[in-house]
């Protein structure tokens, strides 16, 4: 009997360890669908790890990116890009890829007219309006040209993913209209007042506009934030300090995981690692950030 109990006990603990070892499901709400044409040849190294991407063709790039998602149990991605590029990623993995719409896309300043925009939504070619990197063009979400699109998004329950915060060093010398103050999330307040049912994702969690971002999220519960690029490209201590401040302020249910993956697939596991190892996060808070909050925001079942 004693031997039997030992065997049963060992089996129980092995099963428990196996269950604990299962990778958690992750939703990446800040993923860029890109092709070779979007980068120089050879592509630049990852600014944090120094690793140069290995892809040599569009197919290799898509395959490597999707394999990285699978290897890290990223079950869904909000993939932003041009309609045609995102469609190629969807064709490769339709269950995993949710289509977003970049504007401006790689310097292309054209938006589809509103009738085409609605058609893309109904055809499920656009499920998210963004990433909207308006700051690069010296614009904000409150500019009148975007009002018809925001009205459509509110009516059709399409979330808006807005670039906030900063950009790489020397950005104004490549994008002359870029200004740092245009990344302040408080600039969207009139949009939120006018469109109370419009869901907005603050990309990069408004960094470094800490108090301003908190103010918007406190007043407007339809606003969530993602931690894209902060979770792998900023100093870890700084990222932890910023994230901890939001968690301590009670926003743990509205913070979403994002990698802001561009050319570098190794950014994704690095971002996941840094969140997993945040010493101040509980297991429940990690699961909220990695999956639950995004599932709620994007109605992912």
Does residue 234 sit within a domain? yes
Model pLDDT, residue 110: 81
pLDDT tier at 7, thresholds 50, 70, 90: very low
Give the predicted TM-score (pTM) of the model.
0.91
Q: Where in the sequence is the domain holding 198, given as residue range(s)?
A: 30-297
Determine if residue 33 is left, alpha or beta; phi over 0 gives left, psi from -120 to 50 gives alpha, anything else beta: beta
Domain containing 156 — which CATH number? 3.20.20.140
Residue 4 lies in a domain: no
The percentage of the chain sitting over the pLDDT mark of 90, rounded to a whole number, equals: 86
Q: Is 7 part of any domain? A: no
Asked if the structure places residue 116 within a domain, the reply is: yes
121-148, pLDDT tens digit by residue? 999 999 999 999 999 999 999 999 999 9
> How much is the pLDDT for 109?
59
3-state helix/strand/coil string of the chain: CHHHHHHHHHHHHHHHHHHHHCCCCEEEEEEECCCHHHCCCCCCCCCCCCCCCCCCCHHHHHHHHHHHHHHCCEEEEEEECCHHHHHHHHHHCCCCEEEEEEECECCECCCCCHHHHHHHHHCCCCCEEEEECHHHHCCCCCCHHHHHHHHHHHHHCCCEEEECCCCCCCHHHHCCCCCHHHHCHHHHHHHHHHCCCCCEEEEHHHCCCHHHHHHHHHHCCCEEEECCCHHHHCCHHHHHHHHHHHHHCCCHHHEECCCCECCCCCHHHHHHHHHHCCCCCCHHHHHHHHHHHHHHHCCCC
Look at residue 13 and tell me if it is in a domain: no
Range name among 48-57, 197-206, 247-256 with the lowest pLDDT average: 48-57
pLDDT tens-digit series, residues 167-192? 999 999 999 999 999 999 999 999 99
Number of domains in the chain: 1
**Looking at the domain assignment, is residue 199 inside a domain?**
yes
Q: Is residue 18 part of a domain?
A: no
Would you say residue 17 lies in a domain? no
Q: What is the rounded average pLDDT for all residues in the chain?
A: 92
């Amino acid at each position: 009997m004693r031997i039997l109990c030992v065997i049963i006990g060992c089996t129980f603990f092995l099963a428990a360890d196996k269950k604990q070892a299962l990778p958690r499901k992750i939703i990446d709400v800040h993923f860029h669908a890109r092709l070779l044409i979007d980068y120089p040849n050879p592509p630049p190294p990852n600014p944090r790890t120094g690793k140069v991407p290995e892809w040599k063709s569009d197919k290799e790039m898509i395959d490597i990116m999707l394999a990285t998602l699978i290897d890290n149990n990223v079950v869904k991605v909000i993939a932003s890009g041009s309609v045609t590029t995102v469609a190629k990623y969807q064709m490769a993995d339709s269950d995993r890829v949710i289509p977003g719409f970049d504007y401006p896309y790689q310097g292309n300043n054209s938006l589809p007219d509103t009738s085409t925009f609605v058609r893309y939504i109904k055809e499920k070619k656009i499920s998210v309006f963004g990433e909207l990197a308006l700051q690069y063009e010296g614009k904000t979400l409150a500019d009148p040209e975007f009002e018809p699109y925001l009205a459509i998004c509110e009516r059709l329950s399409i979330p808006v993913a807005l670039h906030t915060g900063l950009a790489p060093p020397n950005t104004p010398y490549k994008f002359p209209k870029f200004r740092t103050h245009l990344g302040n999330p408080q600039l969207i307040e009139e949009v939120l007042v006018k469109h109370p049912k419009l869901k907005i994702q603050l990309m990069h969690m408004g960094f470094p506009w800490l108090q301003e971002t908190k103010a918007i999220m406190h007043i407007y519960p339809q606003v969530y934030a993602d931690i894209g690029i902060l979770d792998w490209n900023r100093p870890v201590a700084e990222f932890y300090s910023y994230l901890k401040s939001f968690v301590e302020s009670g926003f743990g249910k509205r913070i979403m995981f994002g990698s802001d993956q561009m050319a570098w697939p190794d950014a994704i596991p690095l971002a996941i690692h840094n969140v997993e190892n945040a010493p101040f996060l509980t297991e429940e808070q990690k699961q909220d950030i990695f999956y639950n909050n995004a599932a709620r925001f994007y109605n992912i079942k």
